[in-house]
Amino acid sequence: MTKAYGGTRAVDDVTLAIPGGQFVALVGQSGSGKSTLLKTINRLIVPDAGRVTIDGADVGDGPAPHLRRRIGYVFQNVGLFPHLTVAENIAMPQRIGGAPVDVGGRLDQVELPHDLADRSPAQLSGGQRQRVGIARALAGEAKLLLMDEPFGALDPVTRDALGRRVRGLHDELGLTTILVTHDIAEALLLADRVLVMDAGRIVADATPAELLAGKGGPVADALVAVPREQARALAAIEGGG
C-alpha cells in the first residue's frame, strides 16, 4: 500500500499482515509514516495504491461511520466532546443504533472512579481524560484498537500505569492492538511485535527480544540503543552510589 503527499511517499509500498490478537507497536522517527499507515486502517486516510482489509473485507467498502464503530481509536489529544459529561462521552459512539453502554463497567476497565461520570472533560487531569478516551474507544465493543501516541502528553508514572492497563485490557478482551509510539522502551515492554518505519517503509518487523538481540538492522539498532544506554547509565549511577 502506498500514500504520497506531493513528492513525499509517506507510506511507500508497505505490505503487512497482522493476525488477530496481536499487540503491535509502530515506531520510527518523526515523519517516518507511522500515523499515515495507522489512519489507513480506519479510513481517515485513503491509500493511493493498494488496500486494507479487516477479516477479508476491504475497509473502503460500505459507510465509514459503520467501519469506525468497530474500530477503537485513541490519539494524543483524545478529542472528547467538551460540552458532554464523561458518561455521555463514553456512551457517544453507540448513540446511533448501538446497544446501551455499561458506563460503570467501562470506567472500571480503565480504573476510573464512578463519581467522575458526571464531570466534564475540562474537570479531569490529562491522564484521566486519556482513560476516558480509551473507555470510549472500547465502548462499542471494538475488537481492533488503534492508538496514536496515546500517552504522549502524560507524565512518566501515569504513562507507565496506563500502558500496562492497555496491555491488560488487550489480553482480557482479546483485542488486536496497534500502538504508534515515539517511546521505544514502551514499545519493547508492551508489544508482541515491533514494526520499525523509516521513510515510509517497514525496515524491521520483529519481537522485542529479537530487536534487543540486535536482529532488527541498523535503524532498529539505533532506536534500541537509546533505552539500553539509559539503563546502563542508571545502573552505573546506582552502582556508584
Ligand X SMILES: Nc1ncnc2c1ncn2[C@@H]1O[C@H](COP(=O)(O)OP(=O)(O)OP(=O)(O)O)[C@@H](O)[C@H]1O
CB of 125 to ligand X, least distance (A): 24
Phi-psi region of 30 (alpha: psi -120 to 50; beta: other; left: phi over 0): beta
Helix (H) / strand (E) containing 105: helix 103-109
Contacts of 225 by beta carbon, 8 Å cutoff, 6+ apart:
none
Task: Tell the residue number behind the cell numbers 507507565, with chain if given.
Answer: 160
CB of 131 to ligand X, least distance (A): 22
Question: Is the alpha carbon torsion for 67, 45, 75, 57 positive or negative?
Answer: positive
Residue 32 or 176 having the CB closest to ligand X:
32
Name the site residues for ligand X (rule: CB under 6 A): 5, 8, 10, 28, 30-36
Residue 3 or 69 having the CB closest to ligand X:
3
Residue 33 or 127 having the CB closest to ligand X:
33
CB of 206 to ligand X, least distance (A): 18
CB of 41 to ligand X, least distance (A): 13
Residue 8 or 125 having the CB closest to ligand X:
8
Q: CA–CA distance from 47 to each of 60, 103, 229 (Å)?
A: 10, 35, 38
CB of 232 to ligand X, least distance (A): 26
**3-state percent helix, strand, coil for the chain, nearest multiple of 5:** 45, 20, 40
Residue 74 or 112 having the CB closest to ligand X:
74
